Structure 1
Amino acid sequence: MQIDALLFDKDGTLFDFSKTWNVWCAGIIHHFADGDAARADAIADAIEFDLRTQTFLPTSPAIAGTNREIAELISAEVPGSDVDAVDHYIAHAAATAPLAQAVDLAPFLKALRAKGLKLGVMTNDTEMGARSHLTHTGVYELFDLVLGSDSGHGAKPDAEPLLAFANHVDIAPERIAMVGDSTHDLIAGRAAGMPTIGVLTGMAGTETLAPFANVVLDNIGDIPGWLGL
């Protein structure tokens, strides 16, 4: 299999999902609950988050959904709230979330570029959030294109944002591997005609990802070995 580019999901792929987002999400819930325990429980139930253990349920719509989708779920449980305001708060809070790299990203990505691969990110987070996280980590400049769900090409599992990356780097989709931790990522990759690589640094296990992936790896650090680089 000839692979000339890699398109990465962000959360759960470049960054370990649980280590990055569990504590952050608990804080978001308590912010919107504003001291109301029953409301906190209702918000947690809506986004399928276990407040007691501070973990997302594997079926949580927040794992692969857009900020807007999450904002709509939260807003429905907060009387008098405005979805746009909730969305804005989540987007700005997410941009400053603590980041747990799945591997040491800078040397990993530099090594891939040294092999001649084009690199991109397509996340269902906002483009602003993605740029902030990648800049803070010191790796933004290593990507040829960074796309969010608000970049004008739609969101996963649709194929359009993935094809936008293919057009940008001028590489045929069948020579670009989509790398992700959720079925949204892999379904989008298949729809775009790309090989797909599942990783286990998100909330989904091998049995969930395998039907949609050419391979399931422990983390992105195993990609060079699988590609024979």
Structure 2
Amino acid sequence: MSETVAAPSGSEKAIRAILFDKDGTLVDFNRTWYSISCELARRSAAGDDVLAKSLLDAGGYDAEAEKFRANSVIAAGTVEDIVALWHPQDTDEQRRARVAEYDVYGVEEGAKQAVAVEALSQTLQALKQAGFILGIATNDSEAGARATAEALGISNLFSGFIGYDTAARAKPYADPLLHFAETVGVTPAQVAMVGDNPHDMECARAAKAGLAVGVLTGNSPREVLEPLADIVLSSIADLPDYLAGK
């Protein structure tokens, strides 16, 4: 492991499935989504660079730190949340059209520009070989999750893809985890939720998941995740050893 972590409590022994957040957990969020978010902000601002920067700031981009803020709308919300924030005066028809447009762009560019976290494929393969059922739950679209996994060559390792448009409600509600558990035939208590933002941990708690695992590869620092998580790891690369009790 890259750092010392608390010894497993025993709950990890009951875990049969692992549900991963995508951006910030499997994918480097800032390197993948900064340019995409800039383009969407530019479109929303009709080419006005000053307004576009203002929209990015409102969405959660900290220009001074050059990263997105923890649990901000862009980092943790859905495309519907972003559109609602940037275009509060849209009619329902305008909102639906804009969401559809941004979704298509996000699917294409999210897959094209996806930057994997370190040791992604090796870690997922190790977990799969250890017998865990793997899934992705993201506040991106289901199509976006599938396209990114395909682009990174890891789609065959997952048994479920849940986007904001898959279950009734997106994270932080319990619905994505409950949907995954039912789909793969396990109980929520047999699922470990792994993510980089508070809404991932809140989803785990709401669903009564067996384990809530925070990782530090995304936008949330340790002090934000620790009060909500059972364990905080440097990255998913620490997960195989942790679950094995090493």
TM-score by length of 1: 0.91
Match of residue 212, structure 1, among 228, 231, 239 = 228
Deviates more, 1:35-44 or 1:115-124: 35-44
The one-letter code sitting in structure 2 at the alignment partner of 1:91 is D
The separation in 2 between residues aligned to 1:216 and 1:191, in whole angstroms, is 18
CA shift at 1:172, angstroms?
A: 2.0
Q: Judging changes above 3 Å, is the alpha-carbon distance between structure 1 residues 77 and 137 closer, same or farther for their aligned structure 2 residues?
A: farther
Gapped regions of structure 1 (runs ≥ 5): none
Matched, 1:161 2:176: yes
Q: Deviations over 1:181-220 (max 9, x none)?
A: 0110001101111110000111100000001111101110
Relative to structure 1, the CA distance from residue 51 to residue 26 in structure 2 (aligned partners, 3 Å threshold; closer, same or farther) is: farther
The match for 2:212 is 196
Alignment of 1:74-85 (within 5 A): 74-76=86-88, 82-85=94-97
Does residue 171 of structure 1 match 2:154?
Answer: no
Distance across 1 between alignment mates of 2:90 and 2:66:
20
Q: Higher mean Cα deviation, 41-50 or 143-152?
A: 41-50
Q: 1:72 to 1:186 in 2, by over 3 A?
A: same
Which whole-Å deviations, capped at 9, do the CAs of 1:8-50 have from their partners, x for residues lacking one? 0111111111121122212221232233234223322431324
Unaligned runs of 5+ in 2: 1-10
Distance 1:102-1:210 versus aligned 2 partners, 3 A rule: same
Per-residue CA deviation, residues 73-105 of structure 1 (Å, 9 max, x unaligned), is: 1223899x9222321222112112211111333
Deviation at 1:107, TM superposition (A): 2.7
**What does residue 120 of structure 1 align with?**
135
Q: 1:66 and 1:47, CA in 2 relative to 1: closer, same or farther beyond 3 A?
A: same
Matches of 1:131 and 1:220, distance apart in 2: 19
CA distance in 2, matches of 1:172, 1:41: 44
The separation in 2 between residues aligned to 1:71 and 1:31, in whole angstroms, is 11
Aligned positions of 1:64-75 closer than 5 A: 64-75=76-87
Counterpart contact for 1:23–1:54, Cα < 8 Å? no
Q: Distance in 1 between matches of 2:130 and 2:68?
A: 37
1:110-161 CA deviation, whole Å, 9 max, x = no partner? 2211111111111111101111111111111211111111013321111122
Looking at structure 2, the residues matched to 53 and 92 of structure 1 have their Cα atoms a distance apart, in angstroms, of 29
Give 2:222's aligned amino acid: T
CA contact (8 A) 1:33 1:40 kept: yes
Alpha-carbon contact 1:43-1:77 (below 8 Å) kept: no
What is the alpha-carbon distance in structure 2 between the residues aligned to residue 168 and residue 130 of structure 1? 17
Q: Residue 196 of structure 2 contacts residue 215 of structure 2 at CA under 8 Å; is this kept in 1?
A: yes
Q: Does 1:185 align with 2:197?
A: no
User: In 2, distance between residues paired with 1:216 and 1:77?
Assistant: 40
Aligned CA RMSD, in angstroms, stands at: 2.1
Supply the AA of the counterpart residue of 1:62: I
Report sequence identity in percent: 37
Pair 1:189–1:56, CA change in 2 (3 A): same
Report the TM-score when normalising by structure 2. Answer: 0.85
2:158 to 128, 135, 143: 143
- Report the equivalent of 1:21: 33
